[in-house]
Homo-oligomer: A and B are copies of this chain.
């Protein structure tokens, strides 16, 4: 166990001052190339590693970015994170990731912990249950950049990245209508969250546009847990006017619905057409493969990372809130086909 070497050690070795060592290591302009070289080679030889705590304590910044997501293990989230990590890493930032597990309480704690940990910025996708946003005040109050992605809330001056969920919901629903569906069920998520609320609104807008709402509109608010699928099946079986189309708020739920519906004898897409959301890989595995909305998660991650880092670096208009809307796209596959 070799003991750690500090700038003082290097200074002593080279008969120069710690300040000069520090400046060399940080590539300060007013240091001669010669000394820098000396310092760097000495650093290499001795295996010097800069102590980030001391540096951070002194500089009051940490080069780390905090992230709070509802849960890590969904294809969408891990894809977004993958994008964020890529950008962060390329720019010399570390990522501290924590999950709220859809609990407001845990989200609060995470926000606090990350704040204490001295993150330079925070990226958040909200938990389903969150209704109070005070835990983010500590960030805004101290001008620590805060960005929401996907599941957002409109806080003053916080940039947000998302897709047009309303339009996406509209597109999905109108597609079903165009394929001949008349009694369409929307299996949605928690309406507290913009993403699910907007998808629902889009659904309703499409239904109204085609004079199907309110009569032929059916809505089930769920937490999108797979256990809720039996409710969906029951609803469909007990519905007076046969449901002939379903728009489900995510693909995982959608493919499992298809599976269950098939088990109880429904023919997809002949009797019921289905559209999902996210374009998860699983949407291409199900039979029939799933019509869905392409949601550019990786790109969202890259953008979130880039946006926050440019804030951090340039400190450009920290105060001008920005809203980035990514393009979504309807991907037509067999689950909504009418050419059978």
Instruction: Tell me if A102 is interfacial: C-beta within 8 Å of chain B.
Output: no
Once A49-B115, A52-B117 are accepted as A-B contacts, the answer to whether A71 and B82 lie under 8 Å apart by CB is yes
Chain B residues with CB under 8 A of A286: 285-287
**Cβ-neighbour of A82 out of B4, B64, B73, B143 (below 8 A):** B73
Q: Nearest CB to that of A84 among chain B residues?
A: B72
| Selected interface stretch from A26-34, A54-62, A203-211 | A54-62
Q: What is the CA–CA distance of A99 and B57 in the complex, to the nearest angstrom?
A: 27
Chain B residues with CB under 8 A of A310: none
Q: How many residues of A contact B (CB 8 A)?
A: 55
Chain B residues with CB under 8 A of A52: 116-118
Chain B residues with CB under 8 A of A85: 72, 97-99
Q: What is the CA–CA distance of A54 and B56 in the complex, to the nearest angstrom?
A: 9
Chain B residues with CB under 8 A of A113: 89, 94
Closest chain B CB from A55 CB (angstroms): 8
Is A82 in contact with B89, judged by CB distance below 8 angstroms?
A: no
Is B53 in contact with A2, judged by CB distance below 8 angstroms?
A: no
Closest chain B CB from A155 CB (angstroms): 16
Instruction: Tell me if A96 is interfacial: C-beta within 8 Å of chain B.
Output: yes
Instruction: Tell me if A78 is interfacial: C-beta within 8 Å of chain B.
Output: yes
Once A72-B78, A282-B281 are accepted as A-B contacts, the answer to whether A97 and B97 lie under 8 Å apart by CB is yes
Instruction: Tell me if A157 is interfacial: C-beta within 8 Å of chain B.
Output: no
Q: Indicate with 1 or 0, residue by residue over A58-86, a CB within 8 angstroms of chain B CB atoms.
A: 00001010000001111101110110011
Among A52, A74, A284, find the residue whose CB has the most chain B CB atoms closer than 10 A.
Answer: A52
Cβ < 8 Å to B, chain A residues 263-301: 281-282, 284-287
Chain B residues with CB under 8 A of A75: 73, 75
| Given A53-B57, A72-B82, A85-B98, 17 other A-B residues pairs in contact with their CB atoms under 8 A | A49-B116, A52-B116, A53-B54, A53-B56, A64-B117, A72-B85, A73-B75, A73-B78, A73-B79, A85-B97, A86-B99, A89-B110, A94-B98, A95-B97, A97-B97, A252-B281, A281-B282
Q: Can you list 23 contacts pairing A with B, beta carbon distance less than 8 Å?
A: A1-B142, A1-B143, A4-B142, A53-B53, A53-B57, A57-B57, A64-B117, A72-B82, A73-B75, A77-B78, A81-B97, A85-B97, A86-B99, A89-B106, A94-B96, A96-B96, A97-B97, A252-B281, A255-B285, A259-B285, A285-B285, A285-B286, A287-B287
